[in-house]
Structure formats: C-alpha cells, structure tokens
C-alpha cells in the first residue's frame, strides 16, 4: 500500500514537469529606412538617455483592452529597455542624417546642444476589434542650459494584425515617423 501511494505521488509530481514552456519572443524598436541627409552644421549634440514612465521602462510589452487597466504579454518582451533602444536608434539616425558634426551618447562638456526626452506612452491598445501602437514623447533641446525648443510627438498607428508582432511593426512605423519629424524640426532650429 505504501508503494502504491508513493508511486502515485511520484507520478503526480512528475506530471507537473511535463508542462510545456513557451519560448520568449524578443522585439526591438528600430528604424527601417534611412533619414534624409541634411547639410552639416558645425554643432555637436549630446543625446541624453530618454526618461520614461517607470512601468514602460522594462522589457515587458504592455497592452490595454480597457481604460486604466494595463497588462503585459507573458512571452513577448523587448530585447532591451525602450529608453536604451530609443537613444541608440536616435544616435544612428542623427549620425546618418549628417546634421551634426558630432553626436555623443556620453555627456561631454564640449557638446553645443543637449537633447533631452521623455517617453510618456508606449503600449498596445485594443479598441473595437482593432489594435494600435501608441507612442507619445516630449523632446527638449538645450544650449548653454537654456531651453531652445520643446517638441511634442504623439502617434497612434493602426496595427496590421492584432498581435504583439503587429504592435511592434506599428511601433517601429510610429517611432520612425517621430524620429524623422524630430530631425526635420532640428534642422530648422539650429
């Protein structure tokens, strides 16, 4: 009798170990096309790490199906923190645009300009059987500790599929549009 009870307990516990574990899918924020090339200024710029509302600055990808309630996907994550991905993508875009003589990711006392940003929204929204990527951010341009310009960008892009992957593709479209618009504003400001 003891052996049967022990055998049943071992079988019950080992049955739990056969549970399928789904692999995690990792995604990135990136620009899919090159920015316009501008005439080079003699200025240098430091791109400060973007500030981001605390919940969004994690590798979790958030979604909402009703107002004020946020959840994160279990097996779909950002490859890196969104703030780091944003700073890195902007560095590449600013370098490719040729707008600045020097672009820095490390604070440098010789930089003429400082770009500070705050990402206030970055999540997947489900509404009326459709889904959207919603990105909202504020950007400030400083020179000699004086704010020169403030820019506000908000993009709500329809996803081509109601899935985390659809959200990532729409987020990349929105992010690319915001980045190119920012470069265009900066080219007119400096």
Contact 179, 139 (CB under 8 A): no
Q: List the domains of the chain with CATH numbers.
A: 25-189 (3.40.50.10610)
Burial of 29 (0-12, 13-18, 19+ CB in 10 A): buried
pTM of the model: 0.86
Contacts of 180 (CB under 8 A, 6+ apart): 35, 36, 93
Residue 169 pLDDT: 97
- Here the tokens at position 22 are 């789904």
Q: Are 135 and 124 in contact (CB under 8 A)?
A: no
| pLDDT at res. 177 | 96
Using 70 as the pLDDT threshold, list the residues of the chain that sit under it. 1-20
Strand-pairing partners, residue 141, are 115, 149
The contacts found for 136-139 with CB under 8 angstroms, 24 or more apart, are 137/50, 137/178, 139/115, 139/182
| Number of C-beta neighbours around residue 151 at 10 A | 17
Whole-number Å distance between alpha carbons of 135 and 170: 10
Sign of CA dihedral 117, 118, 124, 130: negative
Taking residue 134's Cβ as centre, other Cβ atoms within 10 Å add up to 19
* Contact by Cβ (8 Å): 115, 149: no
């Amino acid at each position: 009798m003891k052996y049967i009870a022990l055998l049943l307990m071992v079988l019950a516990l080992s049955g739990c170990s056969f549970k399928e574990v789904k692999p995690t899918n990792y995604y990135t924020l990136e620009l899919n096309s090159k920015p316009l090339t501008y005439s080079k200024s003699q200025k240098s710029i430091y791109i400060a790490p973007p500030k981001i509302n605390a919940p969004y600055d994690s590798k979790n990808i958030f979604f909402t199906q009703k107002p004020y309630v946020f959840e994160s996907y279990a097996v779909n994550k950002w490859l890196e923190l969104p703030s780091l991905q944003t700073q890195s993508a902007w560095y590449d875009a600013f370098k490719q645009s040729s707008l600045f003589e020097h672009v820095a990711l490390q604070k440098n006392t010789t930089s003429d300009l400082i770009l500070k940003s705050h990402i206030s929204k970055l999540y997947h929204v489900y509404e009326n059987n459709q889904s959207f990527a919603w990105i909202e951010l504020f950007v400030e341009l400083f020179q000699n500790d004086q704010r020169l310009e403030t820019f506000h960008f908000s993009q709500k892009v329809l996803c081509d599929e109601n899935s985390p992957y659809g959200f990532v593709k729409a987020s990349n479209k929105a992010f690319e549009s915001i980045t190119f618009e920012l470069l265009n504003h900066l080219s007119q400001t400096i």
